Structure 1
Amino acid sequence: MRRLIPFALLVTTLLLPGLASAEAWTEPLNQLKKVGPEGAGNEAAAEAWQTLTDQGSAIIIPTLDAMEGSSPLAKNWMRTAVETVFANELQKEGELPAAEIRAFVADRENEPNARFLAFDLYSQISPDEAAKMVPDMLDDPSTGLRRNAVAQLITEGKKALDAGNKEEATTILGKALDGARDVDQIDEIAKLLREKLEQKVDLPKHFGFLMRWQVIAPFDNTDREGFEEVFPPENEIDLDATYKGKEEKEVSWQAYTTSDDYGMVDFNQPYSPLKQVVGYAYTEFDSAEERAAQIRLGCKNAWKIWLNGELLFGRDEYHRGMRIDQYTLPIILKKGKNTILVKACQNEQEQDWTVQWQFQLRVCDSTGTAIHSTDRQPTPEPEAATRRRPNQ
């Protein structure tokens, strides 16, 4: 039978004699963190990986810890190290730090992907105990763990629906919708509520997507230089102004309202599909009080965001995929009017999958619960073909 022993005792046992320090895994982990793109550091990483995995299950928790702040490439090396050691110990019924793995999952301050991996490990050690953790993950910061809790509720909701308990099904699926962050799950829940239970589902309001904007475009992004170039909307917001845009053509602000279920602001709608261009979208958000909040953005173009005239963040990267809550920006909302400006840049690529010039933005608290502007207007009625998935 496989023995599960306290992690501290496991480490001490493995390090005797001589009580060697934790540096036995620190140096290999540091080496894995140095791995770079296009094979940079791979040879040294391979050697470090072997040194790390040779130390057995004592490296599981330190390696999970080391994933915090590491690059995606480094995380891949660390993940495979953990999985390899775990599989070896599991096969030979060796010693595994079960309690420490569970504690790592339970600590929401740990790196989300590492926690998801740890939960997978714990599910293999103690499937029944792992299953008991799932219901408490409905508001978890790890989308992978949250997804498990939502899936469980969807199953329960369907069972209630099949049994004819419509009121119970509505309650359960409404709770699932509160926790859902993956579009496929949101779509499934919304469809059940709308079609099977005849419930009105206002997804934009539910998630806090901002639907009404002023937009202006196109400015020039030839050779992708527009991301750094400062165009007039970055210096002032004058909705009555006219400026010189791309090719010296005059551009001015115009009202834009989206009726998309996921709040998609699509520059291609008012301006037609364009390339090597920059667009801006501006809106105002009235907060009932000064408070901590988050702006959550989905965008596959290069972008920048300003709140109340202060640059929050920007990402000069194009067409790397898009999803709901792709980027999370902590903010402080002022009481009263807050201004939000988004810059979205389109590059020169001509492939079909590079056509999108769009973003979605919502305001919420740290759990993802919507925060609404005090003057939020009713959600626009959807048009025939406006419900597009945000990860197109």
Structure 2
Amino acid sequence: MENLYWKSLLSQQKIKEIYNYARSKGFITDFLFIGPFENIGNSGLYKEFPPEKEILLNQKYKGKNGIEINWFKPMEKSINGYINLYNLIYPNKWSTAYALCYIFIPKSQEVLIKIGSPNSYKLFIDDSFIYSIETERRNLFDQEIIKIHLPLGLHKFLIKISNTMGPFGFYLGITNQKDEPISGIKISENIQNYIKRKLPWIKIIPQKDFIRESPLSEIFYTFYGYILGTYYGYRDDGEKFLERAKKNKT
């Protein structure tokens, strides 16, 4: 439902409401970018390009098709929270790009990191690999929710996005456990001192807490299977629920 409301705001171009809603979702829009790197046959997700080894803002690298690339900051920031790499990176088809920022957490706490993307991606925090998915799906926010404990201080966020032929971009939001913006959070695009560390986390399946399962009807299984498989890209999980729907129907 949230995504439907969001699309309604966007279609009506209600700028003030879009801006306020994006802030309430905790969307991060301050990033540095670099790309494109190769993504031949969607293999770029699994290749370790220079940003995964080092962050040197003045360094130039050989990117896709041998072009020279470097880190850059766009002239304008996203108002609606969606980071549209299709307009920032060229060539933008069968390409891989990185987005970088540093986030200050004002006190140690459990937070929810929410990611949405039509593309395959990897997320790194404090140089530790957190999550990855290979997918092609609809362009929505909150498709993955990661619950993670972040200590007080600065944290390095690096997200890698690998596109094929379609839309190219992502949403990245961070909230407290009550799904509210974190008071005192600060975002920086400048290189900051941070502690390299491994961070324990768990994945929360979106929408699961909002849909009540009924073992007497196949409607729940069909709907939930469709949501997981089509909208969120969890094809295996979605197929399991669709199989349950068939069994209940018989």
By the TM > 0.5 criterion, same fold? yes
RMSD (Å) for aligned C-alpha atoms: 2.8
CA distance in structure 2 between the partners assigned to 1:334 and 1:209 by the alignment: 20
Q: Residue 158 of structure 2 aligns with which residue?
A: 341
Q: Residue 40 of structure 1 aligns with which residue?
A: none
Q: Residue 157 of structure 1 aligns with which residue?
A: none
- Cα distance 1:188–1:265, how it changes in 2: closer, same or farther (>3 A)? closer
In 2, are the aligned partners of 1:294 and 1:331 still within 8 Å (CA)? yes
Q: Residue 108 of structure 2 aligns with which residue?
A: 290
Aligned mate of 1:266, from 84, 103, 115: 84
Does residue 235 in structure 1 map to residue 53 in structure 2? yes
TM-score (normalizing by structure 1):
0.44
TM-score (normalizing by structure 2):
0.67
- Cα distance 1:302–1:202, how it changes in 2: closer, same or farther (>3 A)? same
Gaps of 5+ in 2: 189-230, 232-250
Gaps of 5+ in 1: 1-146, 148-181, 378-390
CA distance in structure 2 between the partners assigned to 1:200 and 1:271 by the alignment: 24
Structure with greater helix percent: 1
CA distance in structure 1 between the partners assigned to 2:122 and 2:163 by the alignment: 13
CA distance in structure 1 between the partners assigned to 2:61 and 2:55 by the alignment: 12
In 2, are the aligned partners of 1:284 and 1:339 still within 8 Å (CA)? yes
CA distance in structure 1 between the partners assigned to 2:119 and 2:17 by the alignment: 35
- Cα distance 1:329–1:219, how it changes in 2: closer, same or farther (>3 A)? same
- Cα distance 1:373–1:215, how it changes in 2: closer, same or farther (>3 A)? farther
User: What's the offset of the Cα at 1:200?
Assistant: 9.3
User: What's the offset of the Cα at 1:372?
Assistant: 5.0
Query: Higher relative contact order at CA 8 Å, sep ≥6: structure 1 or structure 2?
Result: 2
Alignment of 1:161-172 (within 5 A): none
Partner deviation per Cα, 1:299-345 (whole Å, 9 max, x = no partner) = 01010000111111101112x11322110112222212111100000
- Cα distance 1:240–1:332, how it changes in 2: closer, same or farther (>3 A)? farther
CA distance in structure 2 between the partners assigned to 1:272 and 1:243 by the alignment: 15
Identity of aligned residues (%): 22
- Cα distance 1:250–1:333, how it changes in 2: closer, same or farther (>3 A)? same
In 2, are the aligned partners of 1:208 and 1:372 still within 8 Å (CA)? no
Q: Residue 184 of structure 1 aligns with which residue?
A: 4
Matched to 1:328, the amino acid is I
Matched to 1:300, the amino acid is P
Alignment of 1:342-361 (within 5 A): 342-347=159-164, 349=165, 354=166, 356-361=167-172
Aligned mate of 2:149, from 311, 316, 332: 332
In 2, are the aligned partners of 1:363 and 1:372 still within 8 Å (CA)? no
Aligned mate of 1:304, from 110, 114, 122: 122
Alignment of 1:44-55 (within 5 A): none
**Which structure would you say has the larger Rg?**
1
Query: Which stretches of structure 1, 4 residues or more, deviate above 6 A after TM superposition?
Result: 189-192
In 1, are the aligned partners of 2:18 and 2:79 still within 8 Å (CA)? no
User: What's the offset of the Cα at 1:202?
Assistant: 1.8
In 1, are the aligned partners of 2:123 and 2:130 still within 8 Å (CA)? yes
Count of aligned pairs between the two proteins = 187
